Amino acid sequence: MSSRVAACPAKLNLGLKVLGKRPDGFHEIATVLQTIALEDRLEAVEASGLSLVCDDPAIPAGATNLVLRAARGFQARVPAAGARGAAFTLVKAIPAGAGLGGGSSDAAGALVLLEALWGVPLSDATRFEIAAELGSDVPFFLRGGRALGEGRGERLTSLPAGPELAIVLGTPPVALSTADVYRELRAPLTPPDAGVTVTRFLVKLAEGNDFARAENDLERAAFTMRPELVAFRDALRRHGAEPALLCGSGSSVFGMFSRSEEASVAATRLRAELPGWAVRVTRTTGLGARLTA
């Protein structure tokens, strides 16, 4: 039976600015996106229909899952795939509700898998159209690396990769809903005419690989909802992280280090200081969702 496997990486937001609310109800943002080497594993085998099994009971495996939605979007766009099926097996390493884009990455991985499994290649335009319909972050995971995200985050401009950096990632035992965080957002929004200035500022940080002045505008809302997140961010800063920021809309918090040894020492101390948090050491990567052996 034919099968394919994909690696689906997590992402960080190395700075995120909320520029205003759009007519469609979403928020206009500018953000620097970066993939990291924390990855889910998604396998697909040919089948008579579409199905998904996941090792994490917190992940819904029904029709609303982004993997299955990606497969249905593929079928809807490509008549030759309409009668094909796939049974997916998802092994999670990226925690859910953590601001790391795991579901979006899995969706991108599903598109990559199905092109190979069904032998039906998509044009770049069609692949990105399907991805954008699934969610704001999905197009980014088809590329990976580092990129400027504008609009809802789906308008992408590739940025220089910079040197590999060590990351300490902390995830509390509670998740945060992106929709809830945006509803809680009370910070004054940047005037639309300042959007160009904000974007240039983020690009300058990324090109210089200097994120010491990076900010995440969603922190105020997320920290109001979950004050314990502040303690982890501040502990990261005490142990030398620069920057230390909320991951997207949370609930994970990350710190960046120039050397892996510094990151490992900080992670050991954080596990002792803040029991109950899952603390991981990982690194930046230039890879997106992709087939593996």
Catalytic sites, residue numbers? 11, 137
Q: What angle do CA 134, 137, 246 make, to 5 degrees?
A: 135
Instruction: Kindly state the helix (H) or strand (E) to which residue 170 belongs, with its residue range.
Output: strand 166-171
Q: Is the peptide bond preceding residue 2 cis, with omega within 30 degrees of 0?
A: no
Q: What gap in Å lies between CA 123 and CA 217, rounded to an integer?
A: 35
Q: What gap in Å lies between CA 162 and CA 233, rounded to an integer?
A: 24
Tokens (6 digits) for 171:
């995830």
Crossing angle of helices 228-238 and 260-273, in 10° steps, is: 140
Instruction: Kindly state the helix (H) or strand (E) to which residue 115 belongs, with its residue range.
Output: helix 102-118
94 DSSP assignment: S
Q: Where are the beta strands (DSSP E) in 198-292?
A: 244-246, 253-257, 278-283, 290-292
**Strands 50-54 and 86-91, sheet pairing:** parallel
- Residues 254 and 280 sit within 8 Å (Cβ to Cβ): no
**Strands 27-46 and 3-21, sheet pairing:** antiparallel
Q: What angle do CA 206, 16, 35 make, to 5 degrees?
A: 60
- Residues 252 and 98 sit within 8 Å (Cβ to Cβ): yes
- Residues 102 and 10 sit within 8 Å (Cβ to Cβ): yes
